[in-house]
Amino acid sequence: MTSIKAFHQLSIDNPDVFWAEEAKLIDWHKPFTKTLDFSRPPFAKWFVGGETNLCYNAVDRHAAKRPNDRAMVFISTETDTEIVYSFAELKQEVMRMAAAMQSLGVGQGDRVLIYMPMIPEATFAMLACARIGAIHSVVFGGFASGSLATRIDDATPKLIVSADAGMRGGKAVPYKHLLDDAITLAKHKPAKVLMVDRGLDKEFQKIAGRDVDYATLRTQFMDTEVPVTWLESSEPSYILYTSGTTGKPKGVQRDTGGYAVALAASMKHIYCGGVGETMFSTSDIGWVVGHSYIVYGPLIAGMCTIMYEGTPLRPDPGIWWQIVEKYKVNVMFSAPTAARVLKKHDTAYMHKYDLSSLKHLFLAGEPLDQPTHEWIMGELKLPVIDNYWQTETGWPILAAMPGIEKTEIRFGTPSFPVYGYDLRIFREDGTVCDADEKGIVGIVPPLPPGCLSTVWGDDERFVSTYFSLFREPQVYSSFDWGIKDKDGYHYILGRTDDVINVAGHRLGTREIEEAIQGHPAIAEVAVVGVADQLKGQMPMAFAVVKDAASIATPEKRLALEKAVLKQVDDSLGAIARPSRVHFLTVLPKTRSGKLLRRSIQALAEGRDPGDLTTIEDPAALEQLQQALGFKAPS
């Protein structure tokens, strides 16, 4: 077995040879003529001239050899549903969905926006898009109409696929009215909306001429064969929006061939998942983990994937482990927040089930703190591997790689740079940090296969956002602080920009500020991420009111706070709701007008705010400290 260090070095020194070998893990309809084209930095094209298809690699090639093997298990503890799909059945359902899309005018290069709960049709829709060469853009079902409208306008989809409602904690969460409102708000109007009616929202209304019932349309295509559309490797497979420091979300554009190869390689070298095994990722298809490790990654590797609708606590805190036992799960992927939730409950639930099939548990999405890492590894008595990556990269940047070499797992660190990533810790002047010196986590391009190829419709934003940290050398900025120790283990220390991480979900403070500023009583607002024991971070808002009379009494303050929180819910969704809204008459700024965000954040977390001599109005500091002493609303 080669060492991680030697494997990584080969990928950096000779990427053409390295990735040509990894490309053998997928099927190509037409071989590529060049492994890497990096003639226009920082844009990289991988496997140039090669033709392949994500759906073919995920479904067809396995259906041909192992038609009756399990491909996907859908489990909903919300509706008490369990459905097992073989590879042959999955292929047929994907072709039915693809035929339905084609009948509604969708073809190669068209965008299809998917706004759905965790149900099988969501997976069918993603794979159907990949099959016919359409570009899918999945929007997390928790996003409100305003956020959805911005994504509709940016992606300009020909078709939207949605459902009447999702389920959370035993309650229906209606989607259709949010979608209707979003389409009303959006400048771009999709030609058709394909609706999956689960019977959860009895009040939802179809809009004549636009809305089409999927169950009815599906019956027309029960035995339809939809051929695979072969795509050149660099053609886009999907767009996935991620929060930025500006109010407009960035559409991460993923290619086809590079993504397929990257996922196939990661399943082998990092996740150690093999043909016929089972993987259970507890994420949502609205996030990058759901794309890579619920839908595409496990299926490309010939594994069965488990698609789960529910919480880790319903019907009890043992449900995930019950699933592991029942379906003999070999690889499991979750988030540190979920581990912290389970930590609050009786560990008897964890030990009640036979977990002997499980080889590893992987955690990602936010920094994994040492106490949580130590606790869950101690309870499970198996390797719990932290890995660090981003929506932009599509697969891990830092991870232990047991498929290459079994290295010591140290608590609180995602271990080593993954093959393909020329990762370094940089000082702000562009020089490389010494061991144990804090700096910015950067990657020297070319970015490896599977990473974003650009920002959808905006090459200039791709360069200005990700490659403007230094002029020399050109470096992809992760916007995260990090440290590398003398043994090569890396530690992630938090963001350098104004994006916060709430339970693994990235939220731009600017987006939340814009939502709050939409309330007529608010003149100015600052939102910061504040450390939270359960979720990692939570947004906290500090708002200046237009009229002091609106907060003259505790009752008025409470009423306005509730109104502002509702404003955020309506604009962005409950996921972006601040933990508190504190009202001030002035925000702490420097004499030059710069908002003292880091000082606000430090005070909110009970830390030393640092040098405040530059503050223009000392009264602002007093107000801030006074506000942080207020009793939270019920």
List, as one string, the DSSP characters of 25-57. Answer: GS--SB--SEEEEEEETTEEEEEET-EE-HHII
Residue 236: φ, ψ to 5°: -70, 140
Token look-up 């190869």 returns 261
| Structural contact between residues 192 and 106, judged by C-beta atoms closer than 8 angstroms | no
| Structural contact between residues 585 and 545, judged by C-beta atoms closer than 8 angstroms | yes
Say which residue, 101 or 612, is predicted with more confidence.
101
pLDDT of residue 631: 40
Indicate whether 592 pLDDT > 80. no
Judged by average pLDDT, the poorest of 231-240, 392-401, 502-511 is: 502-511
pLDDT of residue 549: 87
Mean pLDDT over residues 503-532, rounded?
Answer: 80
pLDDT of residue 632: 37
Q: What percent of the chain has pLDDT over 70?
A: 95
Mean pLDDT over residues 360-374, rounded?
Answer: 87
Q: Which residues contact 92 (CB under 8 A, 6 or more apart)?
A: none
Q: Which residues contact 563 (CB under 8 A, 6 or more apart)?
A: 519, 521
| Structural contact between residues 280 and 324, judged by C-beta atoms closer than 8 angstroms | yes
Quick one: 500-627 is in which CATH superfamily?
A: ANL, C-terminal domain (3.30.300.30)
pLDDT of residue 506: 67
pLDDT of residue 244: 57
pLDDT of residue 504: 67
- Classify burial at 156, counting beta carbons within 10 Å of its beta carbon; exposed 0-12, middle 13-18, buried 19 or more: middle
Mean pLDDT over residues 292-310, rounded?
Answer: 98
pLDDT digits over 494-509, tens only?
777 667 777 767 676 7
Indicate whether 125 pLDDT > 60. yes
CA distance 143 to 137: 14
For 420, the token pair is 């393909």
pLDDT digits over 470-487, tens only?
777 789 999 888 899 999
pLDDT digits over 87-109, tens only?
999 999 999 999 999 999 999 99
- The pTM score is 0.84
CA distance 463 to 294: 30
CA distance 159 to 489: 46
The mean pLDDT of the chain is: 91
Indicate whether 246 pLDDT > 60. no
pLDDT of residue 633: 39
What is the dihedral sign for C-alpha 20, 26, 30, 36?
Answer: negative
CA distance 626 to 634: 19
CA distance 550 to 522: 10
CA distance 558 to 531: 23
pLDDT digits over 398-457, tens only?
999 999 999 999 998 999 999 999 999 999 888 999 999 988 999 999 999 999 999 999
Residue 288: φ, ψ to 5°: -65, -35
CA distance 416 to 489: 6
